[in-house]
Amino acid sequence: MREITIPIDDEVIRSLHVGDSVALTGIMVTARDAAHKWMVETFIKKTRPPQGEDEQVYEALKKLLNGGVIYHCGPVVSKDENGEYHFLAAGPTTSIREEPYQADVMKHFNVKGVIGKGGMGAKTLQGCRETPGVYFHAVGGAATFLAQTVEKVHGVYKLEFGVPEALWVIEVKEFPAVVTMDAHGQSQHAIVDAASRQVLEELLNKPY
């Protein structure tokens, strides 16, 4: 398993290929549907004006995501008597819901890695080539184990979206994942999809 430190530079990204196992260490930001929609509409396509502290959050995200990693995660979070947050569960969310937004977010913020489950589509794969970046597949059903890699919660933005949809800034150590979409245009998800379609077609056309 290859150890990768966040932020990640282009040379490291281009050295990664589909099938590589990695252990990620550093700062990452969780973001799901509401966060991606907000980033794209407010700061990329600018179809809605910033509100409240949006501008300050944007400036913080530009620093955090430059060479950084977005994790598609809706965590279970607790708050102790000192007011500090702790992740109790940190499993990956199905990523395809972010397909309309992900490539734009990657290119705008220079995001080098996206973590989730289930893979993403052609638009994100092209974004991986152009940014460059990679898609890391995390293990589903291991939410408690993955939460143990979160050493510290540094803060949270847009908590008004709700705990699962907020942007949590977390520090992880040796977060395990597998590269399933790389910066060279390779996608394990596309390969599996094509093979599955072929098997399905053969079954449907099989004479009985």
CA 103, CA 194: separation in Å to the nearest integer? 22
**Which of the residues are catalytic?**
36
CA 189, CA 142: separation in Å to the nearest integer? 20
Q: Cα separations (Å) of 75 from 8, 24, 54, 153?
A: 24, 18, 22, 11
57-90 core/surface letters (b: 16 or more CB in 10 A; e: else)? bbebbeebbebbbbbbbbbebeeeeeeebebeeb
